[in-house]
Structure 1
Amino acid sequence: MISQNKKKPIILINIDSLVSDPLQIAIQTGRAPALHFLMENGYFTPDMVSSYPTMSVTIDSTLLTGTYPDQHGIPGLNWFDFKHRKMINYGTGVREVFRMGFSQAAHNMVYQLNNVDLNQSVSTIYEELDHQGLSGASINSFVYRGPKKHDLNIPYLLRRTANLSDHLTTNAPELFSLGSLSSFRKFSFNPQILSGNRKFTSRELRYLIKRNLLPAFTLGVIQETDLRVHFKGPYDLRGIAKVDKEIQKVLNVYKSWEDAINQNIWIIIGDNGHSRTGWSYNQIIIDLRKILSGFKINKINTPVENDDQIVLSVNQRMAYIYILDERIPLRDIAGSLVKDPRIDVIAWQEDEKNIIQSGTKSGELIYQPGGDLTDLYGQSWTIRGDLSLLNIKKNEHNQLEYDDFPDALARIHGALHSHEGRYIVVNAKPGSEFKAQSTPFHIAGACHGSLHKQESLIPFLITGVDEEVKLPRLVELKDLILRLAK
């Protein structure tokens, strides 16, 4: 039975890769009347800070747990499990997934992400709502861990191609919908196996509203916008217009759109932005295998061997470089990386400190949490070295302010402490992206993953409640939702 809350239900729609500038252009040119209405009647900020790396599974984990990867433990869409010496891939490019093993990638996404990898020591929004006697709903989100057991419906084709069991039980919120794996509607059609498209998400949400089944909090994700942006670029106004039509259908369930915001709290967010790429392969693609050609690099289609020295794990414009050979100092690897001017952040741990170098500037920055310096988010740090490597400045109150790399100190720290192992984090300049063996890349399109503000600043819109976010960061959204739900 769905628990009813005396307060307004919260409906959060996460539109994958929605960016503020094209959103506002779509609104100004009449392509997005529903989003225009919600914006006119609520609070909007174009620059909420996302998580890092700016990849959906990491971002959604931050949204649901209110923590960065150093606590929630999902380092990216692709990473290396040092303890078990194997790659963890939740579904990157087709060639990369099949070379690593499609069966394992499907199992990672369908089951392992939520039930194994997402840190059990941190609680999700759904789990905390359950402690308060309230329910939640997840629609089309790959990160969904909650307090209830659900049997996944593994389609026959997926069972055969991915060698998955037809009896998988997962932990999810009371109301759980994810493409063909689980849905609210008994006779629903979904053209995608592992996730629902924008129409599927809209239909599932309308189903809950029409039957008065909305719980205290509902998260609905629209994922296909990300694929469009990769190929068409960030200013895909047609994609925004298509999403807006589905939001219109949801609002039309009510007597009026005004009635919709009187009865519910509506939150609209993107999850990451994009950096445009050009046409020149040689200028865009940073091939890490060539930069580190003097070392023995593991091939993704073979198990890690004893003489492998390096494992590469690429998340588009960000990558983890794992150094397996303990005889190789991390500084030696960094010394090879700083020679490429397209790599603007090179970071690693050393004696419990975070070390920053760059291929664009000389010098070094060393920092760790705690200390006399504070940033605009109230976080304290001990720092020595060159702040300009991360384009950080001190204001007249001796407070640290960010520019090109929003909340850089905390977000880099989160990535560097997200999982076990000896590794270096590298970040590409806008317009470039990393490549390793079979890594997908995006010529004449757009991509994300990096620390840069182009991918890190996302739109945030809330209406139906008198609420503002003074220092907007995605990592703080969980507390806002729980506060509004109580």
Structure 2
Amino acid sequence: MVSAAGLGLGGFRERESCNVKKLILFVIDSLHPVILGRTLSEGNAPALRFLARNGEYFQKVVSCFPTMTPVAMSSIITGRPPDQHEVPGFIWYNEKISQIVDYGATWQSLLKLGPDRVIRNLLKRLNEEHLSPEISTLYEKLEEKGLTTGNINFFIHRGVQEYITRIPLLMSLATGFRLYKEKVCGPKVLTLGSLTHPVLGKRPFFPHNGIFHRFGFNDIYSGRMASQIIEAGQQPDFLMVYFPDNDKHSHQKGPWRTGASIERADRQVAAVLNALGPWEKALEENVIIVTGDHAQTTVGLGNEYLIDLDRALRPFKRLKATEKEEDKTKEIAICPNERMAFIYILGQRKRVLPQLLEILARDPRNAQIAWKTRHKQYAVLQGGTEKRLHFYPGGPYRDVYGQTWGFEGKLEVVDAQLGPDGVLTFGQYPDAFSRLSSSLEARKGSRIVLSARSGYEYFAEGGPIHPGGGSHGSLEQEDSIVPMIIAGTGQTLENPRITDLYGFIVKHFGFAGTN
């Protein structure tokens, strides 16, 4: 955490916590802490600047791993890492159905897999099948306690109420009308683009909701819907508002050129604050939190910056995204997630695993090559070197989060250091032990987890690439660190991670802070 004064924003104002205040959480996709800091210092984001001046501004909040939106969203809304909420990636192998799950990483995958399969995965199965039913979302937790909750365009929306989504005509046509109306579950107030939205009274205005505006999944739609809900007197106790556009801009132009898209998101935050009345009054009656799900790293321009897994692992029998593993003849499934990848081992682990490791270890572009050796024990190789590290939970050393670990081998594989007080600290790969082990334990099945060095991205069938643009997914700091602003409360966070937001919000409303 840094002081607002350190960014030329003036000092904080102390405010007493008030548990009856309503709470709004804004999530700006791919929000880079350095670019947000620069934008605030230049005075180009007045709403966010106001919140930072009147609250706490954290520069280093650790995301989950993989640093992919469905994983991070699930971690924010459940307070749990992937091994507990069970959403492992954007593209992953589902052992229950012996098939690869893809939430629509590319338009090619949308065409190849079929729009109905991809839309159902993202709209329905992600919430009702993939997200663990054993843990509560914030919506479920708070509404169980008698509070009202709302969601605007956040993909993880599981709640206690049932809705009928109306699929736009062009989307229905693309699915051969296999999708027209679909039941989904959500909180008291639910907006999913133009698919479903609350009844706001006479002549509501729904802007930017056609095919050229991603059917309402955009910043302007999110901001206007939030404003209209407030103006209609329907603001719930907890409201989640998701702004997706910055992610697209960062992928296209690179994270260092996202100042303009952050400014556009700021205008929507300002519109919501305006709907609440004078901004000072808004903070007297509301807690406002702004954060990101993950950040992005610039990818080099040139083929050498693409790690071609299809070519490297060509000797193995690979399960394709359109196939189902029924005859048990496939050896691996490659699931690229931009700057990280899963290599699932589908059979003959004792033979296949050493061969995979031998190939992958030759490539210095692989920053970490990790796998599970036995129950709750893990190994990590550094590509292009012979450096190896073994670690396990419950050992004699602790980290800043109070987690305990044991290890053997080279800590530099994850850029960790052991202090004289027995405390492990992580540099370039924050919270590496916890995040790697969680990724390796997310659902059943044997797998290798790959994380790329800075500037590199994985290339494989079904995965998007962004040469010269921005990408994310890896364990590395630049993908993994997001900023956070908390205003309107005296409650704070120590060594914050995005998983801590669940407990923070539940505690704000006066309930136990764990899921």
Give the alignment's TM-score, normalised by structure 2: 0.90
After TM superposition, the structure 1 = structure 2 runs for residues 170-249 of structure 1, keeping only pairs within 5 Å, are 170-184=184-198, 185=200, 188-189=206-207, 190-191=209-210, 192-193=213-214, 195-235=216-256, 236-249=258-271
Q: Specify the code of the residue in structure 1 equivalent to 2:475.
A: L
Per-residue deviation, 1:193:
4.9
1:300 to 286, 310, 321: 321
SS of the equivalent of 2:147 reads: coil
Answer yes or no: is 1:286 the counterpart of 2:307: yes
Query: In structure 1, what is the equivalent of residue 413 of structure 2?
Result: 389
SS of the equivalent of 2:499 reads: helix
After TM superposition, the structure 1 = structure 2 runs for residues 55-66 of structure 1, keeping only pairs within 5 Å, are 55-66=68-79
Answer yes or no: is 1:109 the counterpart of 2:122: yes
2:379 to 349, 352, 355: 355
Query: In structure 2, what is the equivalent of residue 323 of structure 1?
Result: 345
Separation in structure 1 between the aligned mates of residue 405 and residue 215 of structure 2, nearest angstrom: 42
2:19, 2:509 within 8 Å by CA — same for their partners in 1?
A: no
Deviates more, 1:205-214 or 1:127-136: 205-214
* 1:378-427 deviation line (CA, Å, top 9, x unaligned): 00123222222111111221111111111111111111011121111000
Per-residue deviation, 1:433:
0.5
Separation in structure 1 between the aligned mates of residue 401 and residue 221 of structure 2, nearest angstrom: 38
Per-residue deviation, 1:132:
1.1
SS of the equivalent of 2:502 reads: helix
* 1:156-212 deviation line (CA, Å, top 9, x unaligned): 222221244333221211111010111124552413456521111111111122123
1:272 to 290, 294, 306: 294
1:343 to 366, 372, 383: 366
SS of the equivalent of 1:252 reads: helix
Query: In structure 1, what is the equivalent of residue 21 of structure 2?
Result: 8
1:101, 1:301 within 8 Å by CA — same for their partners in 2?
A: no
SS of the equivalent of 1:471 reads: coil
Separation in structure 2 between the aligned mates of residue 208 and residue 23 of structure 1, nearest angstrom: 27
Separation in structure 2 between the aligned mates of residue 104 and residue 369 of structure 1, nearest angstrom: 38
Answer yes or no: is 1:378 the counterpart of 2:402: yes
2:468 to 424, 444, 464: 444
Answer yes or no: is 1:22 the counterpart of 2:44: no
Separation in structure 2 between the aligned mates of residue 52 and residue 418 of structure 1, nearest angstrom: 11
Query: In structure 2, what is the equivalent of residue 97 of structure 1?
Result: 110
Q: Specify the code of the residue in structure 2 equivalent to 1:269.
A: T
Per-residue deviation, 1:24:
1.5
Query: In structure 2, what is the equivalent of residue 365 of structure 1?
Result: 389
Separation in structure 2 between the aligned mates of residue 416 and residue 207 of structure 1, nearest angstrom: 43
Q: Specify the code of the residue in structure 2 equivalent to 1:181.
A: L
Per-residue deviation, 1:96:
2.4
SS of the equivalent of 2:380 reads: strand
Per-residue deviation, 1:452:
0.4
Separation in structure 1 between the aligned mates of residue 371 and residue 353 of structure 2, nearest angstrom: 8
Per-residue deviation, 1:362:
1.9
Q: Specify the code of the residue in structure 1 equivalent to 2:430.
A: P
Give the alignment's TM-score, normalised by structure 1: 0.96
Q: Specify the code of the residue in structure 1 equivalent to 2:234.
A: L
Deviates more, 1:248-257 or 1:81-90: 248-257
Deviates more, 1:14-23 or 1:191-200: 191-200
Show structure 2 runs of 5+ residues with no match.
1-17, 511-515
Query: In structure 2, what is the equivalent of residue 263 of structure 1?
Result: 285
Q: Percent same amino acid at aligned positions?
A: 31
Q: Specify the code of the residue in structure 2 equivalent to 1:324.
A: L
Alignment: residue pair count = 481
Answer yes or no: is 1:484 the counterpart of 2:508: yes
Q: Specify the code of the residue in structure 1 equivalent to 2:90.
A: L
1:43, 1:463 within 8 Å by CA — same for their partners in 2?
A: yes
Show structure 1 runs of 5+ residues with no match.
none
Separation in structure 1 between the aligned mates of residue 237 and residue 324 of structure 2, nearest angstrom: 45
